[in-house]
A and B are shown apart, each in its own frame.
Chain A
Amino acid sequence: MEEYKAKREKILQMGGPKAVAQQHERGSLTARERIDYFFDPGTFTEIGLYIKHRTTAFGMDKREIPAEGLITGFGRVNGRLVMVAAEDYTTMVGTFGEYHGKKFSEAIDLAKDMGIPFVGMNDSGGARLQEGMDTLQSYAWLFKSQIQASGIIPQIALLMGPCLGGQAYHPVMQDFVFQCRETGRMGIAGPAFVKIQTGEDIDLDTLCGVEAHAVKSGETHVVAEDDKDCLDKTKELLSFLPSNNKKEERKLTYQDTGDDPERIDLDLDALVPEEPYIAFDMHDVITRIIDNGHFFEILKDFAQNVIVGFARFNGRPAGIVASQPMCVAGALDCDAADKVARFVRFCDLFNIPLINLHDVPGYWIGSTEEWKGILRHGAKMLYAYIDATVPKITVVVRKSFAGAYTGMCCKDTGADFMFAWPIARICIVGAETAASIIFAREIRGADDPKAMKAQRIAEFRELFENPYCAAERGYVDDVIIPSETRKHINRALDVLENKTIARPLRKYSNINL
């Protein structure tokens, strides 16, 4: 018993009081403190506490690394089981060696087999180079485990300290990446390596900080102010997600929100300007139709021309995909298409219905986006929506034109139900574009070309720029009063609750990755 106590005590002290104090000075919690804060009190069960590396090179045989710098185990978050792997920066700066990686990948394997979400709390000085090939192979184990679990369980990566090189590859492949503003740093290589190899002079914060990934690269989905905020936000996200991809799991995420599913919101009737060229904030529509206005936004600072995130409708979690006319005209560019496509696929994998709100003039045209590959990036949205079998409901709030009408999920590119507000303009192109092409010769030859152009635009607009042309063909199921949008969405979700779709077997569609 004495030996048991002594051994255990020593490991639980992690890197010792000095290293723990340094961790606190950085403004961070230790790995064990993070675990304590994250799980419901007293529910954490640790696995592999005694695991030790087996390296002898470079004096490593004398090096003790408690728990191999990685604490793994499972516990309950708001009553539901979650698996965790938390890197311990206080022990050999959380370096990733053979057995550290083995613990990490085995935790994911277990989570996959048990069908419970996985959360990685990443905080590591990098690969443990003293272990040579064994460390490299260990990354391969981890990548394999992660990818084989992808689509079976939700995986969330928290960047709570440095995550450079190999330590950056694995978080980015998980479903959601959270980054702590002051301490989380992710990059394929740090500044020193960049300087040597390329001559570029850049500091760590600029290269790998929050601005780099939440705004520029689109790899960080959620920014947190500190460790506690990060763990709180993770729990909030988990509340929307089923534990695994089995259809019946979804029901366990339903909550009684107390918000009337048929609640009318009269503000909606006057909220969106009828003039299609005046911007408004789509968040104001979203928060009025969802339960209690509670919206968990994903990638808030990246590709802001679209909004994606989670909300509830009558207690049921749903994914929202919405145009944002406040930002670059709400038109879809390459980054927006990537943002939407990956979100749609996540929701589909985990049986989360999708609600799509259109005010979209089209995909961005012009050399910048053409040369970035807007056609192939835009195609990802079509693939994602058409492949998805979850319930999908689309509401055309104002504009829906051209390729973007199909790319943001119309009927026949995936929507089970399609509604339009009375001010909606649904058409292949806007009236000005159409008139200037169809009647080009007539306008040029007219006595008053300006008047002729205006007349033809007005005719086209009258004839086609409305929701009724689409409704007459059945491409819009109903034209609805804005204030009643929530009611229509909830009734549609009711009838789609047990939607099933049969498709011929194939490995997967050849999405334009």
Chain B
Amino acid sequence: MAAIISSMPGRVIDIKVTIGDEVTKGQELCIIEAMKMQMPVNSTQNGKVIDIRIEVGQGIKKGDVLMELE
């Protein structure tokens, strides 16, 4: 299990994966917008997406868990 954590506050503008997807390290999982920038959040490891805790349009804080990987 690994948590994907947001490194900055912002708003979710796109989610690129769905539950059950196999992802590889470095793959784009979602995009957070803040301070005029759209920052991709990349997977920290290979694994399967088992939980997505965000929705498009949602505001998030720094340190929030965005997804869980297995």
Known: A366-B9, A368-B62. A331 touches B38 (CB 8 A): no
A364 touches B35 (CB 8 A): yes
Distance of A325 Cα from B9 Cα, bound (Å) = 15
**Which chain A positions have C-beta within 8 A of B45?**
none
Return the chain A residue nearest B32 by Cβ: A329
B34 interface neighbour in A276, A329, A430, A432, Cβ under 8 Å: A329
Q: B12 to nearest A CB, angstroms?
A: 15
**Which chain B positions have C-beta within 8 A of A120?**
none
**Which chain A positions have C-beta within 8 A of B34?**
329, 331
Q: Does A458 contact B (CB under 8 A)?
A: no
Q: Mark A363-400, 1 if CB is under 8 A from B, else 0.
A: 01110100000000000000000000000000000010
B37 touches A361 (CB 8 A): yes
Q: Does A264 contact B (CB under 8 A)?
A: no
Distance of A329 Cα from B62 Cα, bound (Å) = 13
**Which chain B positions have C-beta within 8 A of A276?**
36-37
Q: Does A270 contact B (CB under 8 A)?
A: no
Q: Does B19 contact A (CB under 8 A)?
A: no
Residue positions of A touching B, CB distance < 8 A: 276-279, 325, 327-331, 361-362, 364-366, 368, 399, 401, 430, 432
**Which chain A positions have C-beta within 8 A of B35?**
328-329, 331, 361-362, 364-365
Residue positions of B touching A, CB distance < 8 A: 7-9, 33-40, 61-62
Known: A328-B7, A329-B8, A366-B9. A277 touches B36 (CB 8 A): yes
Distance of A432 Cα from B37 Cα, bound (Å) = 13
A361 touches B36 (CB 8 A): yes
A277 touches B7 (CB 8 A): no
B37 touches A325 (CB 8 A): yes
**Which chain B positions have C-beta within 8 A of A399?**
36
**Which chain B positions have C-beta within 8 A of A432?**
36
A368 interface neighbour in B9, B33, B36, B37, Cβ under 8 Å: B9
Extra contacts besides A329-B34, A399-B36 (10): CB < 8 Å: A277-B36, A277-B38, A328-B7, A329-B8, A329-B36, A329-B37, A330-B37, A361-B37, A401-B36, A430-B36
Distance of A214 Cα from B41 Cα, bound (Å) = 22
Interface centre among B33, B36, B37, B61 (most CB of A within 10 A): B36
**Which chain A positions have C-beta within 8 A of B39?**
279, 328-329
Q: B50 to nearest A CB, angstroms?
A: 27
The 4 closest A-B CB pairs, nearest first, are: A329-B37, A329-B35, A328-B8, A361-B36
Distance of A478 Cα from B20 Cα, bound (Å) = 53
Return the chain A residue nearest B63 by Cβ: A368
Distance of A432 Cα from B36 Cα, bound (Å) = 9
B38 touches A278 (CB 8 A): yes
Q: B36 to nearest A CB, angstroms?
A: 4
Q: A386 to nearest B CB, angstroms?
A: 25
Known: A328-B8, A329-B8. A279 touches B37 (CB 8 A): yes
B33 interface neighbour in A277, A325, A364, A430, Cβ under 8 Å: A277
**Which chain B positions have C-beta within 8 A of A325?**
37
**Which chain A positions have C-beta within 8 A of B8?**
328-329
Q: B40 to nearest A CB, angstroms?
A: 7
**Which chain A positions have C-beta within 8 A of B38?**
277-279
Interface centre among A278, A329, A366, A399 (most CB of B within 10 A): A329
**Which chain B positions have C-beta within 8 A of A362?**
35-36
**Which chain B positions have C-beta within 8 A of A330?**
37
Q: A395 to nearest B CB, angstroms?
A: 19
Distance of A279 Cα from B32 Cα, bound (Å) = 12
A277 interface neighbour in B37, B61, B62, Cβ under 8 Å: B37
Q: B33 to nearest A CB, angstroms?
A: 7
Q: A252 to nearest B CB, angstroms?
A: 42
Q: A435 to nearest B CB, angstroms?
A: 13
**Which chain A positions have C-beta within 8 A of B40?**
279
